[in-house]
Amino acid sequence: MAKVSIESDGDRHVVVKRHFVASPEAVYRAHTDAALIQRWMLGPEGWTMPVCVCDPRPGGEIRYEWSNGQGATIKLTGSFIELVPFSRLMHVERMHMPDPLPENHVTTTFTAEGTGTLVTVRMTLPDARVRAAVLASGMEHGLEASYGRLENMLER
């Protein structure tokens, strides 16, 4: 199974990459269809997403709320800026853990590569301090679990 790659790029950017054995169309749909997102974007085991709003159009709302079933919750709010079907998504998001973090501008690309699709997520954060906090947050564990679920879902 492919692994997630997470790297910093300069003072304000985090770049996440993961290859999926599926078409760009299938992987893109899994990132824009609320019913699909709610099945795979759950983070570490034991978490659920009771609220999932994804309106994939410029200006469309994004709202995800996660729960670990033991009282801990995380919320993400944002909106889409641009959507190029099957190749690129651009959005702005803000994590609430529970207090809101600064805005994160995200560009996700879906590139046909070999037998599947390379997903590249480029986060643009306000400054080096926020970038360092994002990298230190343990996001790799949650991404590995979520992307593993996505890979399994796409294989079916």
Closest CA to 99 of 127, 73, 78: 73
What pLDDT score does 2 carry? 65
Q: Which amino acid is at 150?
A: L
The CATH T-level fold of domain 5-155 is Alpha-D-Glucose-1,6-Bisphosphate; Chain A, domain 4 (3.30.530)
**For 33-57, what is each residue's pLDDT tens digit?**
999 999 999 988 999 999 999 999 9
Could you state, in order of their start, the residue ranges of all structural domains in the chain? 5-155
C-alpha span between 81 and 60 (Å, rounded):
8
Q: What is the pLDDT of residues 82-124, one digit of tens each?
A: 999 999 999 999 988 778 888 999 999 999 999 899 999 999 9
